[in-house]
Structures are given as structure tokens and as C-alpha cells.
Amino acid sequence: MYEDKMKTYISANGVGAEHLRFNASCHSVEEAAETVGASPKDFVKSICLLDPDGNLIVGVVKGEDRVSTSRVGKILGIERPRTALPEEILEKTGYPCGGTPPFGFEALFLIDPKVTEKELVYAGGGSETSLLRVPPEELQRANGGKVVRIRK
């Protein structure tokens, strides 16, 4: 169901991304890299945060990086956001934690500059067994994200 939703979004919005489905878990960067046969450095993750008013902020960072909530707060001029709980991620994005894609739902997207250094990156494909392969500039076009340093 989640994968079909993502494929429909890609098609309907002309997103230049390839959706990949596997029989193995891609929940963690390590599992996904092993499944695809790629380096963990080729992956990005979508970290879901909530501002004090409950609005969704998605930080897109390289697989080996972590989002600095204090940086995000300073960039946005708000109190430090908190990491969303798995049930909140599903409610706000329409996708489960561990498969959350970097576009396809309403949120404020912030993309760390290191994400833009690769020609292609892998990201969550909507489920724990799917991924997207997408050029970073297409990822940014699809989510309207702002490129700012958000990594620790």
C-alpha cells in the first residue's frame, strides 16, 4: 500500500526517481546498503521532527550523519524541535518509520549540503523493504527543500 502510494506520487508529479522493491529489510542504512550492494555513503535518511506547534519538519541528511535539532531550531527561529515518534511519523507523513521518503507529503524540508555532493542517492521508498534512487537535485525539486547545514 505505501509503496504504491509512493509510485503513484512519483508518476503523477513527474519526479525523476526510481522506486526499488526488495525482499529484505532496508530499515537501517546498513541493511539498505547491504541489500542494494552500495556504500552507506550513498544513502540519505529523512529525520522527522515536530516543532513546538506540532508542525512537521523533515531533515534530509547523509546516512552517516545525524540531525542537530539545535541547528534546526536556530535556522527556523523556533524552539528546538523534537524527534517525532513512530506513530506521529505515520500520521504526519502517511509512511511508516524506517521507510519514510524524502518527499511526497506536506512538511518543511531541510536538506543538508552534504546530500548534494553525490550524483545519485538512495532514500526511503515508502516501506521498510523499498528504496528510491534519485539525483539530489531532483529530490530537492520534489520536496521544495532548503539546503542548509543541519547535521551535527
Rg (CA), the chain: 14
> How many other CB atoms are there within 10 angstroms of residue 70's CB atom?
12
Q: Which residue has the cell 511508516?
A: 96
- Which domains does the chain show, CATH number per domain? 2-147 (3.90.960.10)
Tens-digit pLDDT profile for residues 23-72: 888 777 888 888 888 888 999 999 999 999 999 999 999 999 999 999 99
pTM of the model: 0.93
- All three cell numbers of 128, joined, read 521498510
Yes or no: say if 21 and 3 are a contact pair by the CB < 8 Å rule.
Answer: yes
DSSP label of 117 = G
Which pLDDT does position 27 carry in this prediction? 76
Which pLDDT does position 35 carry in this prediction? 86
**Separation between Cα atoms, residue 8 and residue 62, nearest integer Å:** 26
Tens-digit pLDDT profile for residues 112-133: 999 999 999 999 999 989 999 9
Closest to 70 measured CA to CA, from 4, 149, 132, 145? 149
